A and B are shown apart, each in its own frame.
Chain A
Amino acid sequence: MSASPKAIAGYDVERVRRDFPILTRLIHGKPLVFLDSAASSQRPASVIAAVDEYETLHHANVHRGVYQLSQEATDLFERARERVRGFVNARSTREVIFTRGTTEAINLVAQSFGRPRLKAGDEILLTHLEHHANIVPWQLVAEQTGAVVKAVPMDRRGVVDVADVAAYLNERTRIVACAQVSNALGTVLPVREIVKLAHARGAVVLIDGAQAVPHQKVDFKALDCDFYAFSAHKMYGPTGIGCLIGRESLLESMPPWQGGGDMILTVSFAKTTFNTLPFKFEAGTPNISGAVGMAAAVDYIESIGIEHIHAHEQRLLAIATEKMLKVPGLTIIGTAPDKASVISFTLDGVHPHDLGTILDSEGVAVRTGHHCAMPVMEFFDIPATARASFACYSRESDIDALVAALHKAREVFS
């Protein structure tokens, strides 16, 4: 890592910060230093305004009424779908299913794709660094079908080796589900290679993109995976909305997951005909304002440019890594060569929970705990870590505030 990476040309972080009203808040009398964007990022004024405008002027139920407002709401909702499609380069909007978020998207695939097809002895292959949301749905479907869940190991840096993935794949592997970026360690996984290997074995691949989408360009078509799941609230959008992107031929072959309105064409007590894609998987009134907010978040990211955000965050990652390692007793957990802007760490003699409280008293918000990745914590034999994560609005002085607060924590516990 270079000693002092130069600012990214043309990236004006102070200007970006002015788009986020919450960043002017004081916490315990100190300026908010928000370093928990990996858990949920803040929203720019444009997203807040888009949701507000929808609620104020355009709300009605979608796909139902013949009246003007319902048409407006439907247009906004379907335009949001098209916006998200373009963002991740899905082939058509039939491949874009709105869900409550990544977790629901993965559960949908486990239950609608996995449950009818999996047989006793079939294998579902995960990696050791998965978030609970990409473990538990597979354990549930394994329990229901007699399939077996296996996990590709990682090394002490938190790297999953493609050769190990190849070694774990076999003729019984039906589904491979892995994160593109680890939320607990920051590791970027070689998902393109994993997809190739899995497809060569005839397995279907789901990628948990929750931590990837806010940091790097995602191209569903080029990745060539079968399912891709992500959430709006980690990419500057609202909570409670996300997407499952799925290969159309697979989605067509899958039965509906939930039943209700909007997912049917005709219903009689004898027989129900299901709606076409993507509506087949969207039972009930959807989160319309959430979808509108998600589309506004896409607009926002594209107005800055995801490649600029990526470069800015990588610069902060390098600076933070260097500065934090100078704090005596600090250990970074997750040292993969290819990382997203996430730094998990421990500080000798200070439990992460105490660290979180002390940092908070300085206005510094970091996540502490197991990060919904207990197998990762167990691997490193620690109960928890603290985690700082950076977004488009993070700045170098945030890192200085973090480091100063870490020194304060050492003082309290000296």
Chain B
Amino acid sequence: MDLKDLYREVILDHNKSPRQFGRLDPSDSSADGHNPLCGDRLHLTLRLDGDRVSDLKFEGKGCAISVASASMMCEAVKGKSREQVAHLFHEIHEVLTRHDAPVPEDLGKLAALSGVREFPVRVKCASLAWHTLNAALERSDSTVQTE
């Protein structure tokens, strides 16, 4: 177990200076994510342009992994189509949960999240933002829980 796998430079950077932080007003959809185990909460707002997520922002409090994951996710998802987002979600899910899954090259920065799989109790921190995004895309107003 190596802490450097978990707290990679890019993760620490996004935790310290989260991108796409804040709230879009007006927005086309929003969702809340909550991880009761550690108290992480985030609120996600997004704007849609046809099939594309034209913009999205998140706000809330959480551990470094959940904040960095949300920040990198928002950066990566901005401008992508629903289909592309679904593909990305699938890739991230595999990388986080399957110990032997190869890390796809097209993940870019998000590949940094692959270190989380060595720390099973932290996987939920990394996936919170992604489940919240899914909920927002489904136009669900309900709170998402990863516990």
Q: Are B12 and A357 in contact (CB under 8 A)?
A: no
Contact of A351 among B1, B3, B12, B62 (CB under 8 A): B62
- Tell me whether A377 and B39 are in contact in the complex, defined as CB-CB below 8 angstroms, given that A412-B3, A413-B12 are known contacts: yes
Contact of B1 among A28, A350, A352, A354 (CB under 8 A): A28
Q: Which residue of A lies closest to B39 (CB)?
A: A383
Question: What is the distance, in angstroms, from A282's C-beta to the closest C-beta of chain B?
Answer: 33
Question: What is the distance, in angstroms, from A180's C-beta to the closest C-beta of chain B?
Answer: 26
Q: Are B39 and A358 in contact (CB under 8 A)?
A: no
B-side contacts of A361, CB under 8 Å: 1, 3
Q: For chain A residues 374-394, which have a beta carbon within 8 Å of chain B?
A: 377, 383-384
Question: What is the distance, in angstroms, from B8's C-beta to the closest C-beta of chain A?
Answer: 11
A353 within 8 A of B: yes
Q: Which residue of B lies closest to A414 (CB)?
A: B12
Question: What is the distance, in angstroms, from A53's C-beta to the closest C-beta of chain B?
Answer: 35
Contact of B63 among A28, A354, A377 (CB under 8 A): A354
- Tell me whether A383 and B6 are in contact in the complex, defined as CB-CB below 8 angstroms, given that A353-B63, A354-B65, A357-B122 are known contacts: no
B-side contacts of A368, CB under 8 Å: 38
A369 within 8 A of B: yes
B-side contacts of A350, CB under 8 Å: 64
- Tell me whether A358 and B12 are in contact in the complex, defined as CB-CB below 8 angstroms, given that A369-B37, A383-B41 are known contacts: no
A-side contacts of B89, CB under 8 Å: none
A-side contacts of B7, CB under 8 Å: 354, 358, 412-413
Q: Which residue of A lies closest to B37 (CB)?
A: A369
Q: How far is the CA of A383 from the CA of B38 in the complex (A)?
A: 7
Question: What is the distance, in angstroms, from A411's C-beta to the closest C-beta of chain B?
Answer: 10
Q: Are B37 and A357 in contact (CB under 8 A)?
A: no
A370 within 8 A of B: yes
Q: How far is the CA of A383 from the CA of B62 in the complex (A)?
A: 8
Q: Are A370 and B39 in contact (CB under 8 A)?
A: yes
B75 within 8 A of A: no
A-side contacts of B37, CB under 8 Å: 369
Q: How far is the CA of A28 from the CA of B119 in the complex (A)?
A: 12
Q: For chain B residues 104-132, which have a beta carbon within 8 Å of chain A?
A: 119, 121-122, 125
Q: Which residue of B lies closest to A360 (CB)?
A: B1
Q: How far is the CA of A286 from the CA of B37 in the complex (A)?
A: 32
A-side contacts of B90, CB under 8 Å: none
Q: How far is the CA of A383 from the CA of B41 in the complex (A)?
A: 9
A-side contacts of B3, CB under 8 Å: 357-358, 361, 412
Contact of B39 among A354, A369, A413 (CB under 8 A): A369
Q: Which residue of A lies closest to B122 (CB)?
A: A357
B-side contacts of A383, CB under 8 Å: 38-41, 61-62
Q: Are B38 and A413 in contact (CB under 8 A)?
A: no
How does the 8 Å CB contact mask read for B41-69 relative to A, with 1 for contact and 0 for none? 10000000000000000000111110000
Q: For chain A residues 313-371, which have a beta carbon within 8 Å of chain B?
A: 350-354, 357-358, 361, 368-370
Q: Are B41 and A351 in contact (CB under 8 A)?
A: no
Q: How far is the CA of A412 from the CA of B3 in the complex (A)?
A: 9
- Tell me whether A353 and B38 are in contact in the complex, defined as CB-CB below 8 angstroms, given that A361-B3, A412-B7 are known contacts: yes
B-side contacts of A28, CB under 8 Å: 1
Q: Are B64 and A352 in contact (CB under 8 A)?
A: no
Question: What is the distance, in angstroms, from B18's C-beta to the closest C-beta of chain A?
Answer: 13
Q: For chain B residues 1-54, which have a beta carbon within 8 Å of chain A?
A: 1, 3, 6-7, 12, 15, 37-41
B-side contacts of A354, CB under 8 Å: 7, 63-65
Contact of A352 among B6, B38, B65 (CB under 8 A): B38
Q: For chain B residues 46-101, which have a beta carbon within 8 Å of chain A?
A: 61-65
Q: How far is the CA of A412 from the CA of B7 in the complex (A)?
A: 8
Q: Which residue of B lies closest to A29 (CB)?
A: B1
Q: Are B39 and A357 in contact (CB under 8 A)?
A: no
B-side contacts of A370, CB under 8 Å: 39
Q: Which of A353, A370, A377, A412 has the most CB of B within 10 A?
A: A353
Q: How far is the CA of A341 from the CA of B127 in the complex (A)?
A: 36
Question: What is the distance, in angstroms, from B100's C-beta to the closest C-beta of chain A?
Answer: 22
A-side contacts of B121, CB under 8 Å: 357
B-side contacts of A412, CB under 8 Å: 3, 7, 12
B-side contacts of A353, CB under 8 Å: 38, 40, 63, 65, 122, 125
A-side contacts of B6, CB under 8 Å: 357
Q: Which of B61, B63, B122 has the most CB of A within 10 A?
A: B63
Q: How far is the CA of A366 from the CA of B104 in the complex (A)?
A: 36
B-side contacts of A357, CB under 8 Å: 3, 6, 119, 121-122
Please name 29 pairs of A and B residues whose Cβ atoms are closer than 8 Å in the assembled complex, sorted by A.
A351-B38, A351-B63, A353-B38, A353-B40, A353-B63, A353-B122, A354-B7, A357-B3, A357-B6, A357-B122, A358-B7, A361-B1, A368-B38, A369-B37, A369-B38, A369-B39, A370-B39, A377-B39, A383-B38, A383-B39, A383-B40, A383-B61, A383-B62, A384-B38, A412-B7, A412-B12, A413-B7, A413-B12, A413-B15
Chain B residues at the A interface, C-beta cutoff of 8 Å: 1, 3, 6-7, 12, 15, 37-41, 61-65, 119, 121-122, 125
- A354-B7, A383-B61, A412-B7 known; 6 new pairs, CB 8 Å cut-off, are A351-B62, A353-B38, A353-B125, A369-B37, A383-B40, A383-B41
